[in-house]
Each structure stands twice: as C-alpha cells, then as structure tokens.
C-alpha cells in the first residue's frame, strides 16, 4: 500500500465509503457543504449489507474499503456506513494513523442532543450497529439515560430496491417502530439508507418526531476540519465525483437518482479481493 500524500496545489480530495449506495446521501450533503472538494466514493454493493455480518468481517471489509480509497490518493476518509463507524472506526484509526478518518456516529449523537427537548432519544440502525450500542454509550456519557434502540434490518434492502413509499415500507416501518411511539421526541437515523425512508418513518411515528440525519452534522465537522487546516481551495469551481461500486445493480440509474439526486456520467466497477493483502 502506498503512502497517502496530499498535493497542496490540488483541491482537497475526500474519500467516502459505505456498504452500498446509501452513503450517497452523505456524498450529496458533503457536495452541498464543500462544493470545491473532489469526492471519491466506494459503495461495496457486492457485499451489502454490512449490518448482518460479524464484527471480524465488518472490520475486514472496512479495512479493504479504506485501503482502496487511500490508493486513490484521498486526503481524508469519511466512513459513511453507520455499521462500520460503530464497529470499526477505532480499529481503522489505529491501523491508518497518517490519514484523518471521520465517522457518522458522534456527529449524529451531538445533533440529537441539540434537538431533543425531553432527553428521550431513539436510534434505529442495522443489527450490528444496534448491537454495538455505540450511540447509546455516547448518549449515556452526556447524561442521557432514556435511550431506545431498535434494529431495522429490512430498511436497507427496501432502500436498495427503491421501495421507499407505499404499503410495503409502511408495514415494515410499523412492525419495527411501533414500540418507539410516544417514547421518544428525537430519532437518530443510524444508517445511510434510512433518510430516503424518512417520509414513511414520519407517517408511522408522527410529524412531531425530530428525525436526525447525521450526514448534515458530519459535513459541518469535515468542513470545519478542512478550514482549520487550510485544506479548502477556493477555486470557484465545483469538485469532481468519482464513483466506484463493487457490483452494479441492474436498476442502478434509478437508485442513484434517489440517493444522490442525479446520475453521474461515469461509474466504475471494482474488485476488492486483493486489497486485504496490502
């Protein structure tokens, strides 16, 4: 694996990875907040979801994703995947000390703390994210004791299939979320796939619920870091987006439109099978 070295003459390059296409919700927010940044996105669509995998496997996948992005010459890495952020972020920071790595858990928790009026906060995520209790531990450190966690594993395949509205996602949402009704005033969407199900989640829980998409807080955190380190170049031009997927679904055009808001001109399929040897 080659060492990452930032070129100060070029716009900052941000690497983003997720278990699938869901992390493009984070990319969309980053592009809005840091227009001049070049973004390299890796979606591990061949192995989605990460949330049903073991801790050992999640760490291995996250390491392979990180190595791939470093090989692309990025200046920092955003772990858009909540599962990888919950289970593997500390491991990645130990393994790759020479590059800044940001996760989505802490920004989401801080945003929820600012939004909640009652201190009753819920988290929904994949099985692995909820099992890690990463959000709950941070909330407990801040004195929040009434924390409600719920794994919603079927939300990911629904999102990946583009089934975001209608009877099927509503029935699934009611099945998962009925226990949270009247118990929380703020709910952290602990998976990048969940924001596109926001309307359905609101239908089930009620309009009064505050839904927290950690991508917004994460984008502000990354922008602040870049500004503080003089890494943002005010070129007046929009940055580029390089999109890599480990598998290209037949209906990827419609999915990219849902998650990103447009379909990039170029998408490259990549194979990560040799990355683990680096």
Catalytic residues: 81, 191
Q: Answer for the pair 93, 63: CB distance below 8 angstroms, yes or no.
A: no
Question: What are the Cα distances from residue 166, in Å, to 58, 151, 257, 272?
Answer: 32, 21, 19, 36
- In DSSP notation, 198-230 reads HHHHHHHH-TTSEEE-HHHHHHHHHHHHHHHTT
The CA distance from 18 to 57, in Å, is 14
Residue 199 CA to chain centroid, in angstroms? 19
Number of helical H runs and strand E runs in the chain: 11, 10
CA distance 152 to 270: 29
Give ∠ CA 163-168-169 in degrees, rounded to 5: 60
Which residues, other chains included, contact 195 with Cβ-Cβ below 8 Å and sequence gap of 6+? 25, 189, 213, 215
Give the full edge-to-edge strand order of the sheet including 101-103.
101-103, 76-79, 13-18, 38-43, 241-245, 267-269
Contact 184, 148 (CB under 8 A): yes
Of 205, 198, 103, give the one whose Cα is nearest residue 148.
205
Block residue for tokens 């009064």: 208
């Amino acid at each position: 694996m080659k060492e990452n070295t930032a070129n100060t003459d070029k716009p900052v390059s941000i690497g983003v990875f997720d278990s699938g296409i869901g992390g493009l919700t984070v990319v969309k927010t980053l592009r809005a907040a840091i227009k001049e940044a070049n973004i390299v996105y890796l979606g591990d669509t061949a192995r989605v979801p990460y949330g049903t995998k073991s801790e050992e496997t999640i760490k291995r996948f996250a390491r392979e994703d990180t190595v791939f992005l470093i090989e692309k010459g990025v200046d920092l890495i955003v772990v858009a995947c909540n599962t990888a952020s919950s289970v593997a972020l500390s491991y990645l920071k130990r393994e790759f000390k020479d590059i800044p790595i940001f996760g989505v858990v802490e920004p989401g928790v801080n945003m929820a703390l600012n939004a909640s009026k009652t201190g009753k906060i819920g988290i929904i995520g994949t099985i692995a994210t909820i099992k890690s209790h990463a959000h709950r531990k941070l909330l407990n450190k801040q004195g929040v004791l009434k924390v409600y966690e719920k794994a919603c594993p079927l939300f990911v395949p629904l999102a990946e299939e583009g089934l975001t509205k209608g009877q099927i996602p509503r029935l699934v949402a009611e099945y998962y979320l009925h226990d949270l009704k009247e118990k929380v005033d703020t709910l952290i969407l602990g998976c990048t796939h969940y924001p596109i199900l926001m309307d359905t989640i609101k239908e089930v829980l009620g309009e009064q619920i505050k839904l927290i998409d950690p991508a917004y807080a994460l984008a502000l955190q990354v922008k602040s870091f870049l500004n503080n380190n003089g890494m943002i170049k005010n070129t007046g031009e929009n940055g580029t987006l390089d999109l890599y997927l480990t598998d290209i679904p037949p209906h990827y055009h419609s999915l990219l439109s849902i998650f990103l808001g447009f379909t990039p001109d170029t998408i490259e399929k990549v194979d990560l099978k040799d990355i683990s040897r680096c």
